[in-house]
Structure 1
């Protein structure tokens, strides 16, 4: 009898420990811990009621989380910022995901080892970007950036700077060509509706070198050096 009672007590203790562990896991998954709220669909039920069915089910590392072997989950900070998407083995955003920062905007697309590298960005100031990034800065070809006031640039960025492409303003101005330090540079085409059209060289945002200019206001043309 004493052996039976001892075994029963041991079993009861183990069962209580198991239910306590399940309760703790539920809290981790659904409640706020250290400023984070984690939600996921990770499976916690296993054959023979083994609690540690998947040791990777929930694992905090540097304010991030590994959820199952799929490495997908949602990270919510106290200030309302969040990341929802895939993680790599180091719990960094990696793959498809959405990162929202109240102060900066929403980043939707591809993340690589914690860095946003390609997709769409809706900035907090109302401007928008579509394309590729490197080290958190606009970089690469075939990018689109729309300013909050409606102006737009389409083309290549080099470390956040325009390099080559087309700039269009809401007042009818259009420029296609090279840029340097944010200014028109090299060969390009300039058009301002109802005012003028120019094709030729630019330097520091000004006509420079050889070019052709049409003045729509007085219906004149000039070809030569500027």
Structure 2
């Protein structure tokens, strides 16, 4: 995506707007008055519209589609503060719809998002290689889903306070394993994977 936009950038003449004003139509570059944002891309009626790249002073960026001055459509967003990168659908600047989030700490989520958080169905691979596919609510595993462990070992915590740790095959505990009591009771759906 970046290579295509760089190639098209060199073939288009860049227009700089009069001092302090954004370009009206076509391709142009504009640094916003607060100097935190810099946009290079397509404009329509003085608003970002079409394909472009919004650069943030801290090194973060968004590259993709804009509509009527808003980040809307398909794009890619990188956050310098976390090192995370999201590619997929955006609505009013937020990851929303279907997309892929790559985490700097390791791991990856592919699935549905709403207002930037995991919501709906998706597949999460954590930094240790554990894979969960199923339902998410408010950025957490919720409801029906499947969990796969690379080593076949895992744990599940029940809201009664009991924790099972041991070997699993096809989602069922097998063999002899320790059962440990937890203090307190969890709220929400049971069981919860730990």
Scaled by the length of structure 2, the TM-score of the pair is 0.66
Name 1:155's counterpart in structure 2: 111
Q: 2:88 aligns with which of 110, 131, 140?
A: 131
Question: 1:187-209, CA deviations, whole angstroms, 9 ceiling, x for partnerless residues?
Answer: 111012113479xxx99xxx9xx
Moved more, 172-181 or 80-89: 80-89
Bigger relative contact order, structure 1 or 2, given CA contacts below 8 A and separation 6+? Answer: 2
Shift of 1:153: 0.5
Name 2:151's counterpart in structure 1: 194
Name 2:23's counterpart in structure 1: 65
Unaligned regions of 5+ residues in structure 2, if any?
1-12, 164-169, 178-189
1:213 aligns with 2:165: no
Over aligned residues, Cα RMSD in angstroms?
Answer: 3.3
Between the two proteins, the alignment pairs up a number of residues equal to 153
CA distance in 2, matches of 1:192, 1:104: 36
- The structure having more radius of gyration, on CA atoms, is 1
Which one has the bigger strand percentage? 2
Q: Is the 8 A contact 2:146 2:171 kept in 1?
A: no
Which one has the bigger helix percentage? 1
CA distance in 2, matches of 1:180, 1:113: 31
Q: 1:58 to 1:168 in 2, by over 3 A?
A: closer
CA distance in 2, matches of 1:144, 1:98: 19
CA distance in 1, matches of 2:151, 2:18: 63
Q: 2:68 aligns with which of 113, 128, 140?
A: 113
Scaled by the length of structure 1, the TM-score of the pair is 0.58
CA distance in 2, matches of 1:159, 1:176: 20
